Amino acid sequence: MTEDVIIKLENVSTVYEGERRPAIKGINLTVNRNELVYVVGPNASGKTTLLETINGLLPPFNGKVSVFGLDVQSHGREVRREIGYVPQDFMVKPGEPYTAFDVVLMGCYGQIGFLNRPSEEDKKRAEQAMKLLGIQELASRPMGKLSGGQQQKVMLARAMAKKPRILLLDEPFSNLDPDSRGQIPLLITELHEKQDLTTLIVTHDIHHMLEHCNRVIVVTGGRITFDGTPEKALPLVENHPHTTPLEGHHH
Ligand SMILES: Nc1ncnc2c1ncn2[C@@H]1O[C@H](COP(=O)(O)OP(=O)(O)O)[C@@H](O)[C@H]1O
Ligand SMILES: [Mg+2]
């Protein structure tokens, strides 16, 4: 058994600048290697805040976050190198000039700019990541012209291009066309298994969790109110007033 602890939060609270109340409070959470965890809960319950606290983008007000045993506050860069993150509602304007390949390439080394030219190695990694997601044929298409499902796959390829050991996916099932609605959850599960990942998926789409994971965390009002099997989680989240099955949500 590989039971190594990959992500550990100890009594973590995160407060946004200018706010008085913490968006997440007193979070204790341990995620072991190769776990695939669905994080569910109503709107504004703190799911996105939880992901961004784990990858060190939001400094916790209280408590300690460690990833691979490293404190995220002092080792943020090091930790983020190992994390593939797909943010919620990444905005792609229809007139976006970047091609899908450019977007994936940015996953290797950050922004494209004149001081920052991609190496041959970066290009190879980007190509491999697109192949992994089965979207090689989208490489030269403008990102803004792709469907929601295609864009989500491009963003997944972008996250995979740096060969991460952790995937943090924020609402990857929103804005999907009917064709990719069934496909993307399966694709992520396969990716998780084949690439030896530890994966957290934030979602509103509670119907996928029964098939695709064996651990669900419910976040309500900034706290973890449930941590267990999807079967036991389902009756809890079905009654959430804001959880709209099979619907994406927008900020
Ligand atoms: N940048 C921000 N500044 C201040 N408050 C924020 C910010 N982002 C989110 N919040 C607040 O923090 C709480 C949790 O938000 P969020 O983590 O985005 O929830 P979820 O992802 O579950 O919808 C909400 O009350 C939200 O309004
Ligand atoms: Mg969110």
**Which of the four pLDDT bands, split at 50, 70 and 90, describes residue 211?**
confident
* Coil/strand/helix, residue 119: coil
Average pLDDT (16-21) is: 93
Look at residue 111 and tell me whether its pLDDT is greater than 60. Answer: no
Residue 75 has pLDDT above 60, yes or no: yes
User: 120-132 vs 100-109: helix axis angle to the nearest 10?
Assistant: 120
Superfamily of domain 5-94+164-238 in CATH is P-loop containing nucleotide triphosphate hydrolases (3.40.50.300)
The burial of 137, by beta-carbon neighbours within 10 Å (0-12 exposed, 13-18 middle, 19 or more buried), is given as exposed
Q: How many helices (H) and strands (E) does the chain have?
A: 8, 10
138 phi/psi in degrees, rounded to 5: -90, -5
**Cα 177 to Cα 175: distance, rounded to the nearest angstrom:** 7
The reported pTM is 0.91
Mean pLDDT value across the chain = 88
What does the pLDDT look like over 147-166, one tens digit per residue?
A: 999 999 999 999 999 999 99
Residue 1 has pLDDT above 50, yes or no: no
Ligand with the closest atom to the CA of 42: 1
Work out which ligand 1 atom sits closest to the CA atom of 24: 14
Domain boundaries, given as residue ranges, for the chain: 5-94+164-238
Lowest mean pLDDT among 40-54, 102-116, 167-181, 185-199: 102-116
Share of the chain above pLDDT 70, in %: 90
21-25, 129-133, 175-179, 230-234: lowest mean pLDDT where? 175-179
pLDDT of residue 123: 93
Which residues surround ligand 1 with Cβ inside 6 Å?
16, 19, 23, 41, 43-49
Which residues have CB under 8 Å from 167's CB, separation 6+? 83, 84, 85, 86, 159, 160, 188, 191, 192, 197, 198, 199, 200
User: Mean pLDDT, to the nearest integer, of 173-194?
Assistant: 88
Ligand with minimal distance to 13 CA: 1
